[in-house]
Amino acid sequence: MGLKIKRGDTVVVISGKEKGKRGEVERVIPRENRVVVGGVNIRTKHARPSQTNQQGLYTFEAPIHVSNVMLVDPGSGEPTRVGHRFTESGEKLRVSKKSGEDIDG
């Protein structure tokens, strides 16, 4: 089943220790049902210091399960569920369930 969240969408975290944070989706991993959100779920990795990284610490955003995020409604700015509708030409569009507005296009 395809995910209803795409790269570039603004999402809000709805559960976990990062609850309430907003960010933009940087990467989608559909095989694992996970997304990487900018500024959310930041982890630190220790590595041997090198010429480029003198300190030996790397920070990165770890993936979050897609069930823990909700898409932000483009009109109201509130979290919303996502539905689909087809245009007259047969193109599939994502639709906000809360306001009924189109999300893409």
pLDDT in tens, 79-93: 999 999 999 999 999
Residue type, 54: Q
Q: Do 15 and 64 reside in the same domain of the chain? A: yes
Give the pLDDT band of residue 103 (cuts 50, 70, 90).
confident
Give the pLDDT band of residue 1 (cuts 50, 70, 90).
low
Contact assessment for residue 4 and residue 71, using Cβ atoms and an 8 Å cutoff: yes
Q: Do 9 and 29 reside in the same domain of the chain? A: yes
Q: Do 32 and 83 reside in the same domain of the chain? A: no
pLDDT tops 60 at residue 56: yes
Q: Do 52 and 62 reside in the same domain of the chain? A: yes
State how far the Cα of 43 lies from the Cα of 22, in Å rounded to an integer. 17
Structural domain containing residue 42: 1-72
Q: What is the pLDDT of residue 22?
A: 95
| Three-class DSSP labels, 41-83 | CEEEEECCCCCCCCCCEEEEECCEEHHHEEEECCCCCCEECEE
pLDDT tops 90 at residue 50: no
Residue 13's beta-bridge partner residues? 69
Segment 87-103 shows an average pLDDT of 90
Residue whose structure tokens are 């300190």: 55
Q: Do 33 and 52 reside in the same domain of the chain? A: yes
Domain count within the chain: 2
pLDDT tens readout for residues 59-69: 999 999 999 99
Q: Do 15 and 50 reside in the same domain of the chain? A: yes
Q: How far is residue 29 from each of residues 17, 35, 94, measured CA to CA in Å?
A: 21, 6, 19
